[in-house]
Amino acid sequence: MKRILVADDHAIVRKGLKETLEEELGRLLFGEAENNQQVLEKVWKENWDLVMLDINMEQRSGLEVLGEIRKARPGLPVLILSMYPVGEFGVRALKLGAAGYINKQSAPEELVTAVRSVLAGGRYISAALADRLAADVQRGTEIPLHQSLSTREDQVLRMIARGRTLKEIAATLSISVKTVGTYHTRILAKMGLSNDIQLTRYALLNKLVD
């Protein structure tokens, strides 16, 4: 029987995911985690065939946790679940070793297809993500400035470009305003930008935000 660890900070989401998969794929053994620390503890202590990981839980980004899982269990596939569109974090997730990336607004059929593919030893790349990968290839080998950012810095960059205040960002990411300010300073320094107007213009030109 396949063992799947479902990691999401909303109980109703975990319940829905489990019910959808059981209905379509038959008997499965599930574990649950509601925060990133629980995810890592269960990955270290138990054996799983798949981890379904929410990208945006408290304290740490799911992509950071993905990196920890890859170090601890290199052969364990991780399917990233996200409220963000594929264009924001899909390519980054694949580069960090994710077996696939699913938007939470996707149809249940796509979720089932993704899980079935990953459990069979493959990866799941949606049509939207495939288009994004192709676009990156067409742009050539030049590395965009934002690729030098850490996962958390990338999140903060996109939120600032959407007009969110540092206080709002801190509340969303469950970190202090001071920490957000540190990320903000690093982003500007790494990208050679002087202010948020330049940052927002960069984000729009590179289609990091809608």
Banded model confidence at residue 96, pLDDT cuts 50, 70, 90: confident
Confidence (pLDDT) at 59: 64
CATH of 145-205, one of 3.20.20.140, 1.10.10.10, 1.10.3480.10, 2.60.40.420: 1.10.10.10
SS3 46: coil
Listed residue (128, 140, 138, 148) closest to 189, CA to CA: 148
Confidence (pLDDT) at 146: 83
Confidence (pLDDT) at 143: 64
CATH topology of domain 3-136: Rossmann fold (3.40.50)
Among 71-80, 92-101, 131-140, the range scoring the smallest mean pLDDT is: 131-140
Taking the C-alpha atoms of residue 164 and residue 157, their distance in angstroms, rounded to an integer, is 10
pTM of the model: 0.71
Query: Which amino acid appears at position 195 of this protein?
Result: N
Taking the C-alpha atoms of residue 18 and residue 82, their distance in angstroms, rounded to an integer, is 16
Instruction: Find the helix or strand (DSSP H, E) in which 111 lies.
Output: helix 108-119
How much is the mean pLDDT over the chain?
A: 87
pLDDT tens digits along 98-118:
999 998 888 899 999 999 999
pLDDT tens digits along 31-77:
999 988 999 999 999 999 999 999 877 667 788 888 899 988 999 99
- List, in sequence order, every residue forming a beta bridge with 50; answer none if it has no partner: 4
pLDDT tens digits along 172-208:
988 899 999 999 988 987 887 878 888 999 888 888 8
DSSP 6-38: EE-S-HHHHHHHHHHHHHHH---EEEEESSHHH
Domain ranges of the chain: 3-136, 145-205
Share of the chain above pLDDT 90, in %: 48
